[in-house]
Chain A
Amino acid sequence: AQSVTQLGSHVSVSEGALVLLRCNYSSSVPPYLFWYVQYPNQGLQLLLKYTTGATLVKGINGFEAEFKKSETSFHLTKPSAHMSDAAEYFCAVSESGTYKYIFGTGTRLKVLA
C-alpha cells in the first residue's frame, strides 16, 4: 500500500531563510507526487507535481521539489522565505489504479519576522 509521511507537523523559519519541508513516500510503482498549499479558510492550491521526466520540479511562488527515488523522498524547498509563505503544506501521492490521493498529515509553516 502507498503511504506518505511528512516529518515535522510545525516548521518555523526566519524571513529570508531557506524553507525545507520533508515528504517521504512508499510506493511499489512509480509514483505521482504533489505538493499543495492551504491558506486559512481556503482550499488547496497546487504548488507543483512530479509525474515523469525531470526529477527537479519547479512550482509556483518560488518553490521547487526534487524526486529522489533512492531515498523515496520529495522534499519541498524555497531559497528565501517570505511572510506570505506562512500556511499549511500537504504532500500527496496518487494511488495507482484508483482515483485517490493519499495525503500526508500536513506541515504548518511559520515565518518569523
Chain B
Amino acid sequence: KQEVTQIPAALSVPEGENLVLNCSFTDSAIYNLQWFRQDPGKGLTSLLLIQSSQREQTSGRLNASLDKSSGRSTLYIAASQPGDSATYLCAVAGSNYKLTFGKGTLLTVNP
C-alpha cells in the first residue's frame, strides 16, 4: 500500500527566505506526483505536476523535483512571501486511478 509522508508538518519562516518542503513515498511505481496548495477553508489548487519520466518542473518561484527511485520529491519556494502561507500537499498517482496524499506541510511566512 502506497504511503506518502511530508516533512516537516509545520514550518515558519521570515519573509524572503528560500525554503524546501519534502515529500516521500513508499512505492516507487508511480505515474506522476502533484503538488497542491490549500488555503484555510478552501479547496486544493494544483501547483505543479511531475510525470514519472521527469526530474523537475518549474513555475515562477516554485521548483519541484522528483527522484522516483528513492521515493522522494521536494518543493522549493524561492524568496518566500506572506501570501505563500498555506498548507502544501503532495500526492502520487499509481495505476489504480487513485491519488494518494500526504498529510501536508503548514507553511507560515512572517512579514
Is the A/B pair a real complex?
A: no
Chain A contacts to B: CB under 8 angstroms: none
